[in-house]
Amino acid sequence: APSSHDVVPKALESSDLFLYMGHGAGETFYRSEHVRSLNKCAVSLLMGCSSGLLKENGDFDPFGTSLNYLLA
């Protein structure tokens, strides 16, 4: 059976809409840094605790999973 590390990127690249509901932002299944490198990314709704949380980065821009999906 295919692992979630194979299923998630295929779903993101081949679907129009991707919906995640669960803990966090699904990074245990597929790291958000990899989302940015996809050729195509479905419109994604991340509905998990802290999925929209941005982390402070001092004098630099904050970062987080939701920004990686927006950039994809």
The residues assigned a catalytic role are 49
Under 8 Å CB-to-CB from 40, ≥6 apart: which residues? 12, 13
